[in-house]
Amino acid sequence: MIAAIAAIGRNWQLGLHGRLPWPQDSADMDWFIQHTKERVLLCGPKTFESIAHLDGSHDRMVINIATDDRWMGLDDAMIVGGASTYRHFAPHIEQLYLSQIDYDGPADCLFPVEAFRPDQLRNVIWRK
């Protein structure tokens, strides 16, 4: 199954200056770990820079789709960002995991909600 996971602000904020725009949230990080262990994580170059250290931990494989073609043909992977990677894979994503962070500040990168079909958005698994 191709799935995606993201933490978003109240207005779909995803990033600011190449980083998450809010302070680290330990509950969100625990949720991310729970849903990504033993998975292949696919991401773009900026996200790869920030999570490459996760490669191998909890039996994860982290793949930068811009420089590594091992992702081609996979039928089981977790998309972990950034915005253009979510947009690229949106037609193929079967399950979407979203964690809404109580953040209403600035962002220069938004989650591409417009790239998803209504049926995909009705079946989102939200972190509570």
> Among the CATH numbers 3.40.430.10, 3.30.1330.180, 3.30.565.10, 3.90.850.10, which is that of 2-8+25-102+109-126?
3.40.430.10
Distance of CA 39 to the CA centre of its chain: 13
| Single-letter amino acid, residue 17 | H
pTM: 0.93
* Bridge partners of residue 71, in order along the sequence: none
Does residue 128 register a pLDDT over 80? no
Check residue 34 and report its DSSP letter.
H
- Pair 113, 83: CB distance under 8 Å: no
Q: How do residues 33-43 score in pLDDT, each as one tens digit?
A: 999 999 999 99
Residues 103-124 have pLDDT tens digits of 999 999 999 999 999 999 998 9
